[in-house]
Amino acid sequence: MFNKILIANRGEIACRVATTARRLGVKTVAVYSDADAQAAHVQACDEAVALGGLAAQDSYLRWERILAAARATGAQAVHPGYGFLSENEDFARACAEAGLVFIGPPPAAIAAMGSKAAAKALMSQAGVPLVPGYHGDDNDPALLAREAERIGYPVLIKASAGGGGRGMRRVDRAEDFAAALASCQREAQASFGNAHVLVERYVTRPRHIEIQVFADAHGHCIHLGERDCSVQRRHQKVLEESPAPGLSAERRAEMGAAAVAAAQAVGYVGAGTVEFIAEPTTDGDIRFYFMEMNTRLQVEHPVTEAVTGFDLVEWQLRVASGEPLAITQDRVTLTGHAIEARICAENPDAGFLPATGTLGVLRWPEHVAFRRNADMERFHEPAPVRVDAGVRQGDAISPHYDSMVAKLIVWGEDRAQALARLDAALRDTHILGLQTNVTFLRRVAASASFTGADLDTALIERERAVLFEQPGLPLSWAAAGVIAWALAREAGQEGADPWSRRDGWRLHGGAQRRFDLLERAATPVHHTVTLLRHHRGTLGLRLGSGAPGSSAAGADQVLRWRGLGDDRFEVQLDDTRQVLCVHALGQQRAVFSATGSLVLEDFDPIAHAADGATEGGRLTAPMPGKVIALLAKAGQTVEAGQPLAVMEAMKMEHTLCAPRAGTVAELLYAVGDQVGEGAELLRLAEA
């Protein structure tokens, strides 16, 4: 086994590899870009080397720097993870030339599978079934159009060098072929530096079923069963599971044998995935065709780990260090059912537009670390919930890399139990500060098609009515959550019950208190929520909504709650009860329930007063209060809008920002000082 390896990747996969290396007593070296200097993967490793740069081509793709880092730290091998350099044959070759072991297949195997067209030619010789199509070298448009006619519409034009779901065009009619071809070739040239395409029959309502293979350097190759990755958006995977629902043992063995044949045809070594497209036959069976081989570890490898009990990264390290595979095909069994959900920073309602920002709140469901099956003969129940993340609360999702934040992997004794655990785990995944697909994933997992295992690549499209633009948590519940949270916080600060406060909202035994909450939308809505205390001590909630400033009163509801600790509350509105979890980030109050969530903002008339108070270029206190933080030093140059001080007043924090650009000439107060309304906090001079 190696003493030390370099991990040429970032994020969750770099953390994942580091975890197994540590268990095996292998030291790890991280590499990082300027954007990742404080990243989780850097901390997960024993040593770290800066690559500089931000964008992938200036950092994680600079392989001469990565090789230099490996030499400088004395690493013996390089793990490429996935993405980046993992399927780059030149990099694999350069590693070997530098005397480093590339933890992956031989360069020739990467090359053989690198072109989808060339790989298909090879596979057809090896007797692996292919989708009817044309994958020759000649890309003459007239010839391709004739081939499309021969194959029969609809057809799919695919970039031979493509990947990541890009460079594909479905064509339904002959008259659209020429334009689609030209556009596909343009994208292929621009994205992959190679305009070559292939044409194949478009399989309607297909399933994506892939086989995990593993080969050692001693001629032994086995498969570890399949993963169904049919739930996709934009040809990219969303949910993955193993085993594939409804796949017979016979068909599994057949697909496994085809995958092993594919790997052996290219002299494969290490972990690889052979992707098949499968279509249902009229007699309820499936027919499958080779699609491509990914010559690396796959994002969704944890579902295979969960049902086999094996640690695939451990196997990668063992095989790369020359050990033979420790097990034979007949000892591989799939136990129970595992599902993975890819948590991405994106907005599903806006065409899955990627989102960036800071993970201000990041709460994972209860989970346990990944356990491997130490005894190859006996299956040990894996973690019911596993989280593979490369980020911590407070980390940023930058625009430089992909939008995957983490993966949630659940295991159950059967699919129903796995589904129930997935639903609960997604319910308890709370992310605030940027847009994510967590709620969307939960809806997909709960959709009739997914729960009924009616799987194919059109599932999301078919279920769109229940997946997109769904209402969040109703306002009354969200408001109740915000009120419970705010009063619990006040009570905690005063160490007393909220009703004994001396701030005047309790009047004549009956009382009311107003909460101003803003719901951000295309047009923000200002909700005025009134908490009423009746004579008999019961509480009422009254909602009013409208444009900022206006208020239309609604009917009162009886409100009760009790704190459950950890920002959770059991709340009752009239006769219904549910558990709400409330997280605060700045002015935002996110309320999560079992059925949905809603983010409201503290709409603070005082903060709006602050807008006016900074006029004239002076930074003044908008109300009497205490200075709790000063964010600039004397002599510092600041930009307009830059936060300079934080004040606390009326149990609320207010950040005061520079009214204009300038230099901080003098700080007039210190942290802890009480200031009066209108007091100038610091003197700002022209820059």
Question: Contact with ligand ADP (CB under 6 A): which of 42, 66, 117, 291?
Answer: 291
Nearest C-alpha neighbor of 39 from the set 70, 9, 63, 84: 9
Question: Contact with ligand ADP (CB under 6 A): which of 4, 93, 220, 235?
Answer: 235
Nearer to ligand ADP, 103 or 600 (CB): 103
SS3 112: helix
Q: Are 431 and 597 in contact (CB under 8 A)?
A: no
Nearer to ligand ADP, 117 or 482 (CB): 117
233 interacts with, out of Mg ion, ligand ADP, none, CB within 5 to 8 A per kind: none
Find the helix or strand (DSSP H, E) in which 261 lies: helix 249-265
Give least dist CB 221 to Mg ion, A.
20
Q: Is 146 one of the catalytic residues?
A: no
Nearer to ligand ADP, 6 or 543 (CB): 6
Question: Which residue, judged by CB position, is nearest to Mg ion in the bound state?
Answer: 275
SS3 129: coil
Contact between 160 and ligand ADP by CB under 6 A: the answer reads no
SS3 185: helix
Nearer to ligand ADP, 2 or 84 (CB): 84
56 interacts with, out of ligand ADP, Mg ion, none, CB within 5 to 8 A per kind: ligand ADP
Please state the φ and ψ torsions of residue 543, each to the nearest 5 degrees.
Answer: -105, 140
Q: Are 373 and 310 in contact (CB under 8 A)?
A: yes
- The dihedral sign for the CA sequence 241, 247, 250, 254: negative
The interface region with ligand ADP, picked from 63-71, 198-206, 582-590, 621-629 by CB under 6 A, is 198-206
Give least dist CB 111 to ligand ADP, A.
16
Q: Are 376 and 329 in contact (CB under 8 A)?
A: no
Per-residue string for binding with ligand ADP, 39-58, x by CB under 6 A? -----------------x--
Nearer to ligand ADP, 73 or 298 (CB): 298
The interface region with ligand ADP, picked from 34-42, 88-96, 231-239, 657-665 by CB under 6 A, is 231-239
Q: For 452-588, where are the alpha helices, taking DSSP H only?
A: 459-462, 464-467, 475-494
Give least dist CB 675 to ligand ADP, A.
48
User: Which residues, 622 to 681, sit near ligand ADP by CB under 6 A?
Assistant: none
SS3 664: strand
SS3 630: strand
The interface region with ligand ADP, picked from 197-205, 264-272, 535-543, 578-586 by CB under 6 A, is 197-205
Q: Are 492 and 563 in contact (CB under 8 A)?
A: no
Give least dist CB 299 to ligand ADP, A.
4
Write b or e for each residue in 304-341: b if 16 or more Cβ atoms lie within 10 A of its Cβ, otherwise e. Answer: bbbbbbbbbbbbbbbbbbeeebebeeeebebbbbbbbb
Give least dist CB 374 to ligand ADP, A.
27
Residues whose CB is less than 8 angstroms from the CB of residue 266 and which lie 6 or more positions away in sequence, other chains included? 105, 108, 109, 112, 113, 122, 293
Per-residue string for binding with Mg ion, 274-303, x by CB under 5 A? -x----------------------------
Question: Contact with ligand ADP (CB under 6 A): which of 29, 33, 44, 83?
Answer: 83
Contact between 227 and ligand ADP by CB under 6 A: the answer reads no
Q: Which neighbouring-strand residues pair with 598?
A: 591
Q: Are 480 and 559 in contact (CB under 8 A)?
A: yes
Nearest C-alpha neighbor of 303 from the set 205, 229, 213: 229
- The dihedral sign for the CA sequence 265, 161, 108, 318: negative
Contact between 271 and ligand ADP by CB under 6 A: the answer reads no
Contact between 237 and ligand ADP by CB under 6 A: the answer reads yes
Q: Which neighbouring-strand residues pair with 515?
A: 529
Give least dist CB 631 to ligand ADP, A.
33
Give least dist CB 622 to ligand ADP, A.
44
Task: Please state, as a whole number, how many other Cβ atoms lie within 10 Å of the Cβ of residue 279.
Answer: 16
Catalytic annotation, pick one of 65, 296, 427, 589: 296
Question: Half-sphere exposure of 220 toward its Cβ, with a 13 Å CA cutoff?
Answer: 11
457 interacts with, out of ligand ADP, Mg ion, none, CB within 5 to 8 A per kind: ligand ADP
Q: Which neighbouring-strand residues pair with 158?
A: 168, 198
Give least dist CB 186 to ligand ADP, A.
17
The interface region with ligand ADP, picked from 70-78, 295-303, 417-425, 578-586 by CB under 6 A, is 295-303
Which one-letter DSSP state was computed for residue 51?
-
Per-residue string for binding with Mg ion, 220-259, x by CB under 5 A? ----------------------------------------
Contact between 300 and ligand ADP by CB under 6 A: the answer reads yes
Residues whose CB is less than 8 angstroms from the CB of residue 116 and which lie 6 or more positions away in sequence, other chains included? 135, 158, 159, 160, 161, 162, 198, 292
Size of the site for ligand ADP (CB under 6 A): 31
- Whose tokens are 């007699």? That residue is 283
135 interacts with, out of Mg ion, ligand ADP, none, CB within 5 to 8 A per kind: none
Contact between 132 and ligand ADP by CB under 6 A: the answer reads no
Contact between 397 and ligand ADP by CB under 6 A: the answer reads no
User: Which residues, 306 to 365, sit near ligand ADP by CB under 6 A?
Assistant: none
CA–CA separation, 327 and 163 (whole Å): 32
Question: Contact with ligand ADP (CB under 6 A): which of 105, 206, 256, 481?
Answer: 206
Question: Contact with ligand ADP (CB under 6 A): which of 59, 73, 232, 447?
Answer: 232
CA–CA separation, 230 and 238 (whole Å): 8
Contact between 205 and ligand ADP by CB under 6 A: the answer reads no
Contact between 299 and ligand ADP by CB under 6 A: the answer reads yes
185 interacts with, out of Mg ion, ligand ADP, none, CB within 5 to 8 A per kind: none
Find the helix or strand (DSSP H, E) in which 305 lies: helix 301-308
Q: Is 380 exposed, middle or buried (0-12, 13-18, 19+ CB in 10 A)?
A: exposed
Question: For the chain, how far is it from start to end, CA to CA, in angstroms?
Answer: 60
Give least dist CB 371 to ligand ADP, A.
23
Give least dist CB 275 to Mg ion, A.
5
Task: Please state, as a whole number, how many other Cβ atoms lie within 10 Å of the Cβ of residue 549.
Answer: 8
Question: Contact with ligand ADP (CB under 6 A): which of 18, 203, 319, 431?
Answer: 203
58 interacts with, out of Mg ion, ligand ADP, none, CB within 5 to 8 A per kind: none
Give least dist CB 104 to Mg ion, A.
17
Binding site for Mg ion (CB under 5 A): 275
| Residues involved in catalysis | 296
Binding site for ligand ADP (CB under 6 A): 56, 82-84, 131, 156, 162-165, 200, 202-203, 206, 208, 232, 235-237, 275, 277, 291-292, 294, 298-300, 401-402, 404, 457
